[in-house]
């Protein structure tokens, strides 16, 4: 059994999860695995990224009937994958490994590009905005959102969870040239939470939300949550696991 690390451009896909008559990342991986193994093979991922969301480090469980070592797995699967889905690495894991249940943290990044025009080389991977943002205010609001809290205010409707408490350990805002990057790390994310938090910081950057609007304890009020931003600006960077697995 292996844990594979998968990168993909989500533009052409209706998200990670297999859907009838729709192209999905999981569907492409399962087709590749079936061709490699000679039989239907289920690929279980660490999370269901939405339609249009990208990944550099999605994790998934892969079982094979072939006598392969970890170093051979990426090349073997990539031979059957389209160019916008790539297995970047693989490690052998213990029997019973579960990519969701065993995950310790997930790291996402939402990227803005501040410019009056689109750049055709990056337009699929960033949200372009015309207005200058107050990055200092964004950072101050971000600091108030970090912690182990009830994040239900930032959850997109339609995906009920047993608990809406999550530990958001990192919410960083940084700049480089025309880009503003929001890095988010948590032990888990509610449906739509990463894109909604990015939207909340966008509100802050535009002056519509102040640090004092964010309560220091208890559930967050729904009126602090920003818009649910477009999927193409979001990328799943990595999923971390305890060692050994």
Catalytic residue positions? 50
DSSP symbol at 156: P
CA of residue 219 relative to chain centroid, distance: 23
**Cβ atoms of 190 and 161 closer than 8 Å:** yes
Judge contact between 52 and 43, C-beta under 8 A.
Answer: no
Residue 49's Cβ-count burial label (10 Å; 0-12, 13-18, 19+) is buried
Distance in angstroms (rounded) separating the CA atoms of residues 126 and 198: 12
In 10 A of CB 135, how many CB atoms? 16
């Amino acid at each position: 059994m292996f844990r594979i690390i998968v990168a993909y451009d989500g533009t052409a896909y209706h998200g990670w999860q297999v859907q009838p008559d729709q192209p999905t990342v999981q569907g492409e991986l399962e087709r590749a695995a079936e061709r490699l193994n000679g039989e239907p093979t289920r690929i279980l991922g660490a999370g269901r990224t939405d339609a249009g969301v990208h990944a550099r480090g999605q994790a998934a469980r892969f079982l094979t009937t072939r006598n392969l070592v970890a170093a051979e797995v990426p090349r073997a699967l990539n031979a059957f994958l389209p160019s916008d889905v790539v297995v970047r690495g693989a490690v052998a894991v213990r029997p019973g490994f579960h990519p969701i249940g065993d995950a310790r943290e997930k790291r996402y990044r939402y990227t803005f590009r501040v410019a009056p025009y689109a750049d055709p080389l990056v337009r699929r991977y960033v949200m372009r905005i015309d207005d200058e943002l107050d990055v200092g205010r964004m950072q101050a609001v971000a600091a108030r959102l970090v912690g182990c809290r009830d994040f239900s205010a930032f959850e997109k409707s339609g995906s009920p969870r047993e608990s809406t408490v999550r530990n958001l350990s990192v919410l960083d805002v940084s700049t480089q040239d025309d880009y503003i990057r929001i890095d988010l790390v948590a032990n888990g994310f509610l449906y739509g939470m990463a894109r909604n938090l990015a939207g909340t910081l966008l509100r802050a950057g535009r002056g519509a939300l102040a640090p004092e609007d964010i309560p220091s304890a208890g559930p967050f009020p729904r009126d602090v949550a920003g818009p649910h931003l477009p999927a193409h600006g979001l990328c799943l960077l990595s999923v971390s696991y305890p060692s050994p697995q």
